[in-house]
Amino acid sequence: MNTISVKRPSFSGVARIKTIVIAGGAGFVGSHLCERFINQGHRVVCVDNLQTGSRDNIASLLAHHDFRFVLHDVTAPLALDGPVHEIYNMACTASPPRYQLDPIHTFRTCTDGAMNLLNLARDKGAKVLLSSTSEVYGDPEISLQHEGYRGNVNTCGPRACYDEGKRAAETLFWEYGAHLGVQTRIARIFNTYGPRMHPDDGRVVSNFIVQALRGQDLTIYGNGSQTRSFCYIDDLVDGLIALMASDEKMPVNLGNPDEFTMLELARKVLDKTGASVGLINQPLPQDDPRQRRPDISRAAELLGWAPKVALDQGLDLTIRWFWSVLNAQSVEARVS
């Protein structure tokens, strides 16, 4: 259902064919990385426990001769045959309602998972990238969060398993880089959206779009004045690949600095979908950050990277994708 278009590899543009491991490759971000590398002619090993990812996300890749799927939970050590050149650690459920279902497993995914992938990188002589998060800044006291800001995180709250897990993972990456010579990279990813987000995963962009398309009122937590900055998936994939190709071992923010309140986002989604539904207010979840906006000057300077897709354009593409998925689901439901 979630189709991936596999283009004929253009070998002229590939300096060297690499074997690239994508842990969490059946998820939202990971599946876009898998697709990008297969289209570039690389070999991809997708490692996933399918906790929030799905075979649908990689359906068109499964039969490809350069693509291999390994069902595996990264909290256990991972052994792979043959050379590995790069490892992207995207394995961790990113949606708060979902990662809070089993917080200890979430924490172990961040920490044990990081260690197991770092050990694989050390054994194979591979470069390894951590998908860290803006959540390491917690509920920030400064607007425009730069990498030097140390954050405002609650260690004993419902988001701590994820936020503190990612902070610990950053430390592991830094130590393996500093003391064991592993080529590590740390991406601090800010809210990213686009096709292949799970319709029911509870993140705000997918929530609003799915509610609007289903003719339901949009849920606003708190008064809707809290802000987020939204990066379109293709921009994030470009940034991750540029970071892996760089020599930078310290964390780098990747996100779109255009900041919107939740009310502004809701109005955009209502305008674009034409849904005649209202807004309903729910209490703000505990430790929900009031603001989020990346300072991406390091990414610009070190990687020559900046996002290109404006929210209006990205929302149009994402709404179109959700519309086709929800339509297919309702046809399936009518047929069965």
Ligand X SMILES: NC(=O)c1ccc[n+]([C@@H]2O[C@H](COP(=O)([O-])OP(=O)(O)OC[C@H]3O[C@@H](n4cnc5c(N)ncnc54)[C@H](O)[C@@H]3O)[C@@H](O)[C@H]2O)c1
Q: Per CB under 6 A, does 27 bind ligand X?
A: yes
| C-alpha–C-alpha distance, residues 261 and 287, integer Å | 17
Cβ atoms of residues 269 and 208 within 8 Å: yes
Answer for which of 20, 22, 28, 228 binds ligand X (CB under 6 A) is 28
Q: What would the two tokens of residue 293 be?
A: 């906006």
Angle between helices 204-213 and 262-273 (to 10 degrees): 30
Q: Per CB under 6 A, does 73 bind ligand X?
A: yes
Answer for which of 24, 177, 251, 314 binds ligand X (CB under 6 A) is 24
Answer for which of 33, 45, 92, 136 binds ligand X (CB under 6 A) is 92
DSSP-based helix, strand, coil % in the chain, nearest 5? 40, 15, 40
Q: Per CB under 6 A, does 195 bind ligand X?
A: no
Q: What would the two tokens of residue 265 be?
A: 């986002």
Using alpha carbons, list the distances in angstroms from residue 328 to 3, 134, 212, 323. 12, 34, 17, 9
Which of 162-172 are b and which e, b meaning 16 or more Cβ less than 10 Å from the residue's Cβ? bbbbbbebbeb
| C-alpha–C-alpha distance, residues 30 and 236, integer Å | 11
Q: Per CB under 6 A, does 239 bind ligand X?
A: no
Q: Per CB under 6 A, does 91 bind ligand X?
A: yes
**Cross-strand bridge partners of residue 231:** 192
Rounded to a whole number of angstroms, the minimum distance from the CB of residue 190 to ligand X is 6
Answer for which of 22, 26, 240, 303 binds ligand X (CB under 6 A) is 26
Q: What would the two tokens of residue 116 be?
A: 């197991």
Residue number with CB closer to ligand X (234 or 275): 234
Q: How far apart are the first and last CA of the chain?
A: 16
Identify the three-state secondary structure at position 253: strand
Residue number with CB closer to ligand X (176 or 190): 190
Q: Per CB under 6 A, does 253 bind ligand X?
A: no
Q: Per CB under 6 A, does 219 bind ligand X?
A: no
Cβ atoms of residues 137 and 145 within 8 Å: yes
Answer for which of 93, 211, 227, 318 binds ligand X (CB under 6 A) is 93
Instruction: Give the x/- contact pattern for ligand X in 32-71, rule: CB under 6 A.
Output: ----------------xxxxxx------------------
Residue number with CB closer to ligand X (9 or 268): 268
Answer for which of 40, 111, 116, 131 binds ligand X (CB under 6 A) is 131
Q: Is 232 a catalytic residue?
A: no
Answer for which of 44, 87, 136, 189 binds ligand X (CB under 6 A) is 189
The residues, any chain, with a CB within 8 Å of residue 154's CB and separated by 6 or more, are 138, 139, 160, 163, 287
CA angle 58, 113, 107 (to 5 degrees): 105
Answer for which of 41, 113, 140, 289 binds ligand X (CB under 6 A) is 113
Q: Per CB under 6 A, does 291 bind ligand X?
A: no
Residue number with CB closer to ligand X (262 or 275): 262
Q: Per CB under 6 A, does 311 bind ligand X?
A: no
Positions touching ligand X (CB under 6 A) are 24, 26-30, 48-53, 73-75, 90-94, 109, 113, 131, 133, 189, 191-192
Show which residues are catalytic: 162
